[in-house]
Structure 1
Amino acid sequence: MQPGSTMGDAAGNGYNKCMSELVHIHAETPQPRRIEKVASALRAGQVVAYPTDSSYGLACAMGDRNAMERIRQIRGLDRDHFFTLVCRDLSEIAHYAKVENPSFRLLKSATPGAYTFVLKASKQVPNWLAHPKRKTIGIRVPGHPVARAIVDALGEPFMTVTAVARDDRALSEATEVREEFDRQIDLVVDGGATGVEPTTVVDLTEDVPRILRPGKGSAEAIGLDGDETA
C-alpha cells in the first residue's frame, strides 16, 4: 500500500497504514510540481498537514465529509468545533460569505494575513459546514506562500483546523506534526518552521467588528483596539 492510503480499524475509524508521506516545499518560493502534488492529494480525499502564517494546520477538500470526519477523529473534535474555509482572495470570500461594505474595507486591509473572520454564510456554503444556528462560517486568506500556493493550485477553498498536539500545543515543525499524527494523516508538507500563536478571530456578523480571540494578527493594523474584544 502506498503512502497516503487509508484503512479502517475495528470501529470503522480511518487511519493510515503507512507512514505519512513527507513533501518538502520551499517556504518562500514553493515548487509548482510539489504544490500540485498536495492539491491532488486534497482532491483525492486525503488529509494534509501544511504550514500557515500562524502554525501548522490540518486540511481537507471543501465538501469532503469523510475527510472532515477523519480530522474530527484525529483531533478529538466535537460537533461544536467548526472548520475554517481557506480562500484565495476577497472575491472568493464574497462568494462564500455575505460581505457588507464596512466589512469589505476591513477585509481588504487584513488579507492576506493571520486573521480568521466570522461572516454570515452565503447559499454556496453547505448547511452542514455553516454554524447550524447562526448560519456563519469562519474564513481566512493565509499569508504564508505555501498555503497560498496550495489554495491557488486547488482552484477552490479548502477546510482546515489547527494541528494541535495531545497536550494542546500548537505545532510549528513538520517533524512534530508527523510524529504526532503519523499513520493518521496522509501527507505532511514541510514548509519550514512556523510560529505557534493562533490567528486573531474577528466577528464581522454585526455592525461593529469584535475580536473573539486575540492572536498573531494585530488588531491595531486593521483599525481595531482592545475595546472591540468580546
Structure 2
Amino acid sequence: MHPDNPQPRAIGQIAGLLREDGLIAYPTDSCYALGCRIGNKDGLDRIRDLRSLRGDHHFTLMCRDFAQLGQLVQVNNAVFRALKAATPGPYTFILPATREVPRRLQHPRKKTVGVRIPDHAVAQAILAALGEPLLSSTLLMPGDTEPMTMGWEIKERLDHAVDVVVDAGDCGVDPTTVIDFSDGTAEVVREGAGEPSRFG
C-alpha cells in the first residue's frame, strides 16, 4: 500500500472486510495498530487475546474527524480547543464516553474511552471508506518492548491471527502520547510520539 496515495480499490476491499467483522493490522502516524469495527465483539476479544490485555485496558476509538469524535466523547469548549490544536496527530485523549460507546469499550469504573484522529494517509483512507470509527489498539505483542514496524514481519508473526496486514512501510515505534482529560484538565498519562509539553 502506498503510504501517501493509497490505492482506492485496495482501501475499498479493506473496508469491506472490516464491515464483515474482520480484524486488520494497519499503519498509523505513531506505529502499527490492530483495528476492527466498534460493534465487532469477536474482534475485540481477538485483540485482547493477541495482546494478553486486562479487562480494564483502555481501547482507542480511531476517528476520521471531529464530527465522529464528538459523537463518542463529551468535550467542553476548553478541551475542544486543546484537542483541535493537536489533531490530527499522534495523541490519544481519554474523555468521558457518550451513550454511543458500548459499555464493554468503556473503562469499567470511570466510564471513559480513548479517542484520536490520526495524521496518516492510509489510516484516514480506511476510516473514510468505512464511514465509522475503528476500535484500535497498538500492535505491541506480549513480551515485546517495542511495537512491530515492518509489514512483512507483522504478516510473518500474525498471519494466523489477523485477516489482513496493511503494509505501507515503516511507520515508527513510538505509540501515541496519552492525555487524560476525563476531569476537564490535562494529565499526561504516557509520553510517546506527540509532544507532551503543549499540555503541560
Same fold (TM over 0.5): yes
The secondary structure found in structure 2 opposite 1:217 is coil
Q: Quick check: 1:114–1:216 contact (8 Å CA) kept in 2?
A: yes
The secondary structure found in structure 1 opposite 2:162 is coil
Distance 1:207 1:125 in 2: 19
1:202 aligns with 2:185: no
Structure with the higher helix share, 1 or 2: 2
* Counterpart for residue 100 of structure 1: 76
Corresponding residue to 1:219 among 173, 196, 199: 196
How much has 1:63 moved relative to structure 2? Answer: 1.2
Distance 1:214 1:26 in 2: 29
Corresponding residue to 1:75 among 31, 51, 54: 51
Distance 2:108 2:141 in 1: 28
Q: What RMSD over aligned residues (CA atoms) do the two structures have, in Å?
A: 1.1
Q: Quick check: 2:23–2:36 contact (8 Å CA) kept in 1?
A: yes
Q: Quick check: 2:30–2:175 contact (8 Å CA) kept in 1?
A: yes
Give CA deviations for 1:12-48 in whole Å, capped at 9, x if unaligned. Answer: xxxxxxxxxxxxx110011111111111111111110
The secondary structure found in structure 1 opposite 2:156 is helix
Amino acid at match of 1:116: T
Distance 1:165 1:70 in 2: 13
How much has 1:165 moved relative to structure 2? Answer: 3.1
Q: Quick check: 1:163–1:177 contact (8 Å CA) kept in 2?
A: no
Q: Quick check: 2:148–2:173 contact (8 Å CA) kept in 1?
A: yes
Q: Give me the TM-score of the superposition, normalised by structure 2.
A: 0.96
Number of aligned residue pairs: 199
* Counterpart for residue 185 of structure 1: 162
Amino acid at match of 1:75: R
How much has 1:70 moved relative to structure 2? Answer: 1.2
* Larger Rg belongs to: 1
Do the aligned partners of residues 186 and 80 (structure 1) sit closer, same or farther apart at CA in structure 2, a change above 3 Å counting? Answer: same
Amino acid at match of 1:112: P
Distance 1:110 1:155 in 2: 23
Corresponding residue to 2:153 among 176, 181, 194: 176
Structure 1: gaps of 5 or more residues: 1-24, 226-230
Segments ≥4 residues shifted beyond 3 Å: none
Q: Quick check: 2:177–2:193 contact (8 Å CA) kept in 1?
A: yes
* Counterpart for residue 123 of structure 1: 99
The secondary structure found in structure 1 opposite 2:105 is coil
Give CA deviations for 1:154-193 in whole Å, capped at 9, x if unaligned. Answer: 0000101111234322111111211221211110001111
Structure with the higher strand share, 1 or 2: 1
Q: Quick check: 1:90–1:107 contact (8 Å CA) kept in 2?
A: no
Q: Quick check: 1:165–1:180 contact (8 Å CA) kept in 2?
A: no
* Counterpart for residue 139 of structure 1: 115
Do the aligned partners of residues 109 and 36 (structure 1) sit closer, same or farther apart at CA in structure 2, a change above 3 Å counting? Answer: same
Do the aligned partners of residues 63 and 170 (structure 1) sit closer, same or farther apart at CA in structure 2, a change above 3 Å counting? Answer: same
Corresponding residue to 1:48 among 6, 16, 24: 24
Amino acid at match of 1:41: L
Q: Quick check: 1:121–1:137 contact (8 Å CA) kept in 2?
A: yes
Q: Give me the TM-score of the superposition, normalised by structure 1.
A: 0.84
Corresponding residue to 1:110 among 86, 102, 119: 86
Amino acid at match of 1:82: H
